[in-house]
Amino acid sequence: MNKITEIFRAFVPEYLEQFGACMPKNHRKAIDAIISCRTRAHGLLYYECEACGEFHTFYRSCGNRHCPACQNHKTREWMARQIKRQLPGHHFMVTFTVPEQLRDIIRSHQKECYAMMFTASSQAMAEIIAKDRHIQGELSGFFGVLHTWGRQLQYHPHIHYLVPGGAILKNGEGWAPTKEKYLLHIPALSALYRTKIKKLMEKAGLLLQICPDIWYEGFNVHIEPAGTGQECIKYLTPYIFKVAISQNRIEKVEGRKITITYKKKGCRRIRRLVLDAMEFIRRYLQHVLPTGFMKVRYYGFMSPASAINLENVRRQVMNAQDVPDVVLPPVIHLKPPSCKSCGGPLTYVCSIMAYQLPPEDYG
């Protein structure tokens, strides 16, 4: 069983007794999904062995995006799609953060504030790219991923963007590449991002709850070259379908004490943090997203709604930079389940939903 699931099943009753009365609905929904995942509460899967004909049953997963035992196949599928869509040539990873003093406000108004962060950062980047004197093109395209946790599970909302190194020319014909080590003027981008966030906060009626001093510093923007972009995609993929921590970072669970491992940025030494079970669950749940919120968003010619064909952009990039097309990595297929009796491959037969099971079969 997944270590996180074990922790939740062991300690959630106590957690609900202490905090259940004031718990957000999306937190309760995530808890219920994690605890009931791969139990009769979600029904059964039937498989037949291709070799010996024996039937096997498995519990269905919950499918919740915050469940640590789910989403493995979606993770692989998303990464394969993004690598297939990415443009040839050099890329950059651009990260937008917010001051620490603003995090409590964002945590209390997650749906609105996460949307503000996306709006302010994407608009600021698109506007600066269109006006930057080092870039001859005007229309950019990129995608962003919301990331809310730090290495110790603390609350640290920020957005990572993967940005191709260039833009489409004003007439729509041709690609204007940037230098491989330079994308944008960071101080100008940071200032515009801060201004846009402030206006959105004011429009939402949140400005009076925020100390005025934070509008003078702390809205850091970090830009680093990302090569072809493939490594950046691999880096971002776990953030999309996993929450806060992978089970291989949970070193041990002793009584109520949970030991997790982490590394500081730029350091290879493994460090350890011991958390009480209640604190571990609290830190995990603060990264549960609002219901229906999309943590991956696409802009410019990367947007599904764009009138510009991405394949045309690909050809323009290759012509302008004389670079080869993206080399797709080999497809890694998930190993199908095997028969416990003979080891033969199993073939899916059907699913039985929980409501279709006889009453005595419910867990």
Closest by CA to 103, choosing from 158, 152, 153, is 158
Would 330 be classed as within a structural domain? no
Would 308 be classed as within a structural domain? yes
Please indicate, yes or no, whether residues 52 and 163 belong to a single structural domain of this protein: no
The helix or strand, by DSSP H or E, that contains position 96, with its residue range, turns out to be strand 91-97
Would 280 be classed as within a structural domain? no
So what's the pLDDT on residue 331?
67
Note whether 253 and 7 are within 8 A (CB).
yes
Would 327 be classed as within a structural domain? no
Please indicate, yes or no, whether residues 23 and 89 belong to a single structural domain of this protein: no
So what's the pLDDT on residue 362?
46
Closest by CA to 336, choosing from 328, 324, 326, 345, is 345
Location of structure tokens 């982490």: 262
How many domains are there within the chain?
2
So what's the pLDDT on residue 363?
44
**Domain membership of residue 102 as a residue range:** 72-244+287-321
Distances (CA, A) of 313 to 40, 60, 128, 208: 49, 42, 20, 44
So what's the pLDDT on residue 138?
81
**272 contact partners, CB below 8 Å, separation of at least 6:** 251, 259, 260, 261, 262
Which tokens go with 233?
């995609």
Would 260 be classed as within a structural domain? no
Q: Strand 166-168 to strand 175-177: parallel, antiparallel, or no bridges (unpaired)?
A: antiparallel
Please indicate, yes or no, whether residues 55 and 77 belong to a single structural domain of this protein: no
Query: What does the pLDDT profile of the chain (363 residues) look like in tens digits?
Result: 688 999 999 999 999 999 988 899 999 999 999 999 999 999 999 999 999 999 999 999 998 888 888 877 778 888 888 988 999 999 999 999 999 999 999 999 999 999 999 999 999 999 999 888 778 788 899 999 999 999 999 999 999 999 999 999 877 778 999 999 999 999 999 999 999 999 999 999 999 999 998 998 778 999 999 999 999 999 898 888 778 888 889 999 999 999 999 988 888 899 999 999 999 999 999 999 999 999 999 999 999 999 888 999 999 999 888 888 887 777 666 677 899 999 999 999 999 998 888 876 444
CA dihedral 149, 151, 154, 159 (to 10 degrees): -30
Would 352 be classed as within a structural domain? yes
Would 81 be classed as within a structural domain? yes
Please indicate, yes or no, whether residues 313 and 344 belong to a single structural domain of this protein: no
Beta partners for residue 348, in sequence order: 47
Beta partners for residue 158, in sequence order: 97, 147
Please indicate, yes or no, whether residues 25 and 87 belong to a single structural domain of this protein: no
Please indicate, yes or no, whether residues 42 and 78 belong to a single structural domain of this protein: no
Please indicate, yes or no, whether residues 24 and 104 belong to a single structural domain of this protein: no
